[in-house]
Amino acid sequence: MLFDSPLLGPVLIALMRICDVSIGTVRTILVVQGRRNYAAFAGFFEVLIWVFAIRFIFQHLDNTANLFGYAIGFSLGNFFGITVERWIGLGHANINVISKFNTDKIADALRLAGFGVTIIPGEGGSGGVSIINCILPRKKVQNFIKLVESIDKEAFINLQSSIPYRGFMHARK
């Protein structure tokens, strides 16, 4: 049989694991964000693919290379799953920016770019600071950071995942 090949089997298993682990990585993010319908849909395919992979391994336990295919597929699945999730950019991010000298300039540029900006007064070890706070779709994080760094390469930027509970998020674009 074609799949009894000593090399094709491990490759097939690796490909199945890349798929199911990648889906599982995205599914985990969906669960954390409370998107249960999408998470359930992804979970169906994740487990279906995994069952086929494990069935193939158990049918061919005499081929040690299959185990390596399983492990390689798992590790590459994590890599690709995170890459895909970043590309999709699910959810929101909460970003805080502290700049020693350019707070107003950064805030103005961010507002012109369509980001909703709140400035919060704070107290640091060396005195008063202003904290720029923004909640934005994760798809826009890289543009946000590039804009901040174009004004102040030394700005402190703190990025956290955010799940908005209620309210209005203002942005012009």
CA torsion sign for 49, 53, 56, 58 is: negative
CA torsion sign for 119, 123, 129, 133 is: negative
The tens-digit pLDDT sequence of the chain (173 residues) is 555 667 888 999 999 999 999 999 999 988 988 889 999 999 999 999 999 999 988 888 888 899 999 999 999 999 999 999 888 888 889 999 999 889 999 999 999 999 999 999 998 888 888 999 999 998 899 999 999 999 999 999 999 988 777 776 655 55
- Asked if residue 30 lies in contact with residue 53, where contact means CB atoms within 8 angstroms, the answer is no
End-to-end Cα, the chain, rounded Å = 57
Fold of domain 92-162: Alpha-Beta Plaits (3.30.70)
**To which residue do tokens 């709140």 refer?**
118
**To which residue do tokens 């900006």 refer?**
117
Give me the percent of the chain exceeding a pLDDT of 70. Answer: 94
Q: Where are the domains of the chain?
A: 2-88, 92-162
The per-residue pLDDT of the chain, averaged, comes to 90
